[in-house]
Every structure is written in structure tokens, then in C-alpha cells.
Copies of this chain bind each other. A is one copy, B any other.
């Protein structure tokens, strides 16, 4: 059955439910300039250097499940909002760890979601969904109690067609490169499968070794075992841990990785002596490591990672300041990544001093910093990025990945760090089908910000076009070294698409 046969919504009406000038300043001169700038960036390929798409999605290229499993259950932005207004996770069909029964009818969940769609008024989730509905699925931008089942059926029907398989969407979305995020101990089987399949899409892993650094966690020894297993390095002491990490990084690089990623509560950095590092390791082996031991160990491991980056060229990303699983009962019942993490005030100036003094001037090193604490944008991050050659600022992260959040980011950092110490956009999402909407929103917001500068005669239109292209495409590509000649032998046989 062809897609055209099952359309239940009038294409023109659907298309008109997204205003072409959305998110632009209503002042006519600014809007006109914003539109002009955006018109030149909206068609650029998507660079997706940081995100959480499951690589098996593209390795398997299987048909997507029905709409609820695809669009609602995995999106913690959506789930947390409904939960916050009294809709239970069970009624949303979120699987429990203790096998408490949950709603099994995806159509009922979809209807419940539609009944609460008004909660997303004025939110980025609402904006992303609107565009995803219209442009990916050809259904109306706004879900209502009344249209919920019609929309569900329409999307469900479309998901059965070959045009809606992951690789087909990857091409339709015009993705030039997509990075996933993977544990250091991950054997990367899906990534290997993709390579072997001869598919032209460029999908690369990102090296995330946090679990190997959390020496106070009960999961630490298990992670070391896994890391030993995948690297073939027997990890018995601190030195062999370093060797294993180097081996794992090589494995990631062989599959196209250009970056590592690191999450810590506090971005403390400190170079410990080999003796002290080994003492902490030994204490962890005995199961005696404290939270403070872990903080010091992580602080040292960030230094080791920077040092390895200088040798092997992985760009280093740092995402500090999230208190994971603030809501212990959600974590206990539904597991991590359900929206229960909450930001913390974060300090960068003193915490990063050791790392930046040691590695911040090295031309081989790139560190991309993220924050959930916007008060640091103008106070700490922009002054640091406007000084250290190795430093770039990542885009507005998580709760701040939004119209207002991205606008505040540009307003706060541009005057001190300029545009060229920022790292472009990344979508940071698990929700594959939302990727185009997220990039589009970012391009619109940056176009609008630049239009404001042009309208206030702070920037020429011609310069604004240059900057817009950098923010939408070039800076992500160059900062994450996707423009470097590939040093990966495995990569040689793979066609490289848009590069």
C-alpha cells in the first residue's frame, strides 16, 4: 500500500499548521533578515556530533514500532512533564523493573498523551513535536483529544512503509554524520555491523568511560571486567586500567570515533601522583572507595583523558553538573534516564584550572564544555573559552536546548567568546525522528539572533550569512574533526556520502 493511499489529513492544511516564520522576532525588519539568513542554512546537511540514538536502529534498519513506542516512551522530556502533572508512569506504559503491570495498549497511552498535550504549550518539546508531526509524518502540528486516534493510525500506517525505515529517514533527514554515545566497555557490535553492511551512512561511536571512573559505585568492578573483556587487557592496577582505556579508545577510533564524552557531578581536575592514583584504585578494589575518593579519581582521570586525547586525537567533551536520579523512587522502579536528573550549581574557574593550565594551550587538544548552570555562561565559560586555545563551548544543553535557552546562550557568551569559540549545534537526542526538528529550531534561533545584530547595525548581512553557516554546519564539523582526513583503515571501504 502506498503512502498516498492512507493520508487522512489534507496535506496543505497540515503544512500550513507550521508557520514559515516561526520563532522569528515579530518586528518586520528583523523577521525579514532572519528569514533571509535562515533560507541559506536550512538546507545544509545535519552534523550530529553528540547524541544518544541506539546504533542498532541503523544497523538493523528494521521497521519502527508503533507510534507510542517510537515517540513517547523513550522521550524523557515528554514523560517527565506528564508525570509532573499527576499522570503515572505506569499509565504511560513505561516498563517497570519490578514487573508492576503497566498500560499495555499503546493506543490508550497515545490518547492519554493527547489529552495532556496542552502541557507542552510554550515548550521546546511542543515545538519539536509539531515539526516532527508535520514534516516527518504529515499529520497536524497539534495533537488533541479529538484527533489523537486519527493521528495515531496515520503515523502507524506510515511506519510500515519502506520510506520510514531508519536508513531511509537518515537519508531523507540529510544527516552527514551521526555520533552515538557508548560505554567504554561496549564491544560496538552494531557499529561493526554497519561497517560490514557496506551502507553509506556515516555513524560513529563516542567513547564514554564514566562507569570505569566511578570507583565508589557498586557497578565499578563489573565495568572493569567488561572493559578487560573487550580490550583483552587484564586490569589489575591503575596502570593496566590506563592501558585498557587506551586500547578501548583505539577500538572506538577504528570504528570512526572522533570524540570522548565525560559526565561528572563537579568538573574538578587535579593531577595525582601515580602512587596516589594507585592507592585510590586499590581502595576501590577493596570496595572501600568513598564519594570523595571518587571525586579525586575522576578529577585525575579527566587529566589522563586529556593527555590521551593529545596522542590519539579524540576531542574531549565534558558534561558536568547533573545530579542523576534525584528522584530515587523513579530510578528504583523505572531505571535511569526517565527524566529524574536535576541540575546543580557548577563551578568551572577553579575546578578546571589544573586541566587548562596543563593542556589548554596544546594545539592537538580540543575540550568542549557544556553546562546546566547558565549563570556560568558570561561569568566563567565565555571568559575561559575566550582565552584557552583548546577550549570550545558546546551548545545550550538539555533543559536549555530550547528557543529561550539557545537565545540566552548567544546573548551571554558572544560578546566575550565570540562565535568562533563555540562548537556548533548538537541534538543530544535518543529520539531519532526528532533530529531534523531540533536542528531546524537551532538554525532558526541562530538566524534570528544574527538578524537582531544586523538590524541593530552591529553586523553586516554578509558577515551574518558567514556566521550562520558556521553555527549551523561548519563549526560542528571542524570542532569534532569530521573534516579531518580519516586515519581509520576500516573506514576506507565505506562510501562517505556528503563529505
Contacts of A457 in B (CB 8 A): 19, 21-23
Complex CA gap A326/B19 in Å reads 48
Asked whether A379 lies within 8 Å of B389 as measured between CB atoms, the reply is no
From known contacts A357-B328, A467-B121, infer whether A399 and B383 are also in contact, taking CB-CB under 8 Å: yes
Restricting to A309-329, which residues have a CB under 8 Å from any CB of B? 323, 326-329
Is A85 close to B, CB under 8 A?
A: yes
Asked whether B379 lies within 8 Å of A463 as measured between CB atoms, the reply is no
**Of the residues B323, B326, B327, B463, contact of A121 by C-beta under 8 Å:** B463
Q: Which of A209-217, A280-288, A370-378 is near enough to bind chain B?
A: A370-378
Contacts of A22 in B (CB 8 A): 456-458
**Of the residues B379, B388, B415, B458, contact of A374 by C-beta under 8 Å:** B379
User: What mask results when residues 24 to 62 of chain A are scored 1 for a CB within 8 Å of chain B, else 0?
Assistant: 111101100000000000000000000000000000000
Restricting to A371-410, which residues have a CB under 8 Å from any CB of B? 372-375, 378-380, 382-389, 391, 399-400, 402-405
Asked whether B326 lies within 8 Å of A349 as measured between CB atoms, the reply is yes
Nearest chain B CB to A245 CB, angstrom units: 27
Asked whether B84 lies within 8 Å of A26 as measured between CB atoms, the reply is no
Across the interface, name the chain B residue whose C-beta is closest to A346: B379
Asked whether A345 lies within 8 Å of B344 as measured between CB atoms, the reply is no
From known contacts A26-B27, A127-B458, A357-B329, infer whether A118 and B463 are also in contact, taking CB-CB under 8 Å: yes
User: What mask results when residues 100 to 126 of chain A are scored 1 for a CB within 8 Å of chain B, else 0?
Assistant: 000000000000000000111111101
Is A303 close to B, CB under 8 A?
A: no
Is A272 close to B, CB under 8 A?
A: no
Identical copies of this chain, number: 3
Q: Kindly name the residue among A84, A126, A459 whose own CB sees the greatest number of chain B CB atoms within 10 A.
A: A84
Asked whether A387 lies within 8 Å of B458 as measured between CB atoms, the reply is no
From known contacts A329-B357, A356-B327, infer whether A121 and B382 are also in contact, taking CB-CB under 8 Å: no
Complex CA gap A419/B118 in Å reads 9
Nearest chain B CB to A324 CB, angstrom units: 11
Is A228 close to B, CB under 8 A?
A: no
Asked whether A85 lies within 8 Å of B403 as measured between CB atoms, the reply is no
Nearest chain B CB to A327 CB, angstrom units: 6
Is A361 close to B, CB under 8 A?
A: yes
Asked whether A84 lies within 8 Å of B386 as measured between CB atoms, the reply is yes
Is A221 close to B, CB under 8 A?
A: no
Complex CA gap A350/B27 in Å reads 42
**Of the residues B326, B356, B403, B411, contact of A415 by C-beta under 8 Å:** B403
Interface size on A, residues (CB 8 A): 89
Is A414 close to B, CB under 8 A?
A: yes
Asked whether A329 lies within 8 Å of B85 as measured between CB atoms, the reply is no
Is A86 close to B, CB under 8 A?
A: yes
Asked whether B404 lies within 8 Å of A411 as measured between CB atoms, the reply is yes
Asked whether B84 lies within 8 Å of A391 as measured between CB atoms, the reply is yes
Asked whether A26 lies within 8 Å of B23 as measured between CB atoms, the reply is no
User: What mask results when residues 408 to 444 of chain A are scored 1 for a CB within 8 Å of chain B, else 0?
Assistant: 0001101111111100000000000000000000000
Is A80 close to B, CB under 8 A?
A: yes
Nearest chain B CB to A381 CB, angstrom units: 10
Across the interface, name the chain B residue whose C-beta is closest to A378: B374
Across the interface, name the chain B residue whose C-beta is closest to A127: B458
Q: Kindly name the residue among A349, A363, A402, A459 whose own CB sees the greatest number of chain B CB atoms within 10 A.
A: A349
Is A339 close to B, CB under 8 A?
A: yes
Contacts of A418 in B (CB 8 A): 81, 119-123
Asked whether B389 lies within 8 Å of A416 as measured between CB atoms, the reply is no
Complex CA gap A122/B416 in Å reads 9
Is A342 close to B, CB under 8 A?
A: yes
Across the interface, name the chain B residue whose C-beta is closest to A130: B458
Asked whether B119 lies within 8 Å of A357 as measured between CB atoms, the reply is no
Is A9 close to B, CB under 8 A?
A: no
Is A340 close to B, CB under 8 A?
A: yes
Is A154 close to B, CB under 8 A?
A: no
Is A233 close to B, CB under 8 A?
A: no
Contacts of A24 in B (CB 8 A): 456
Is A83 close to B, CB under 8 A?
A: yes
Complex CA gap A385/B80 in Å reads 10
Contacts A/B (CB < 8 Å), 23 sampled: A81-B418, A83-B389, A84-B385, A84-B421, A86-B389, A121-B459, A123-B416, A123-B418, A126-B458, A326-B353, A327-B388, A339-B387, A340-B387, A342-B384, A344-B379, A344-B380, A345-B379, A373-B375, A374-B375, A375-B375, A378-B399, A378-B405, A405-B415
Can you add 19 more A-B contacts, CB < 8 Å, to A22-B456, A342-B384, A343-B379? Answer: A26-B456, A84-B386, A84-B389, A120-B418, A122-B415, A122-B419, A122-B453, A123-B418, A323-B350, A327-B360, A327-B387, A327-B388, A342-B380, A342-B387, A343-B349, A375-B375, A383-B399, A403-B415, A403-B458
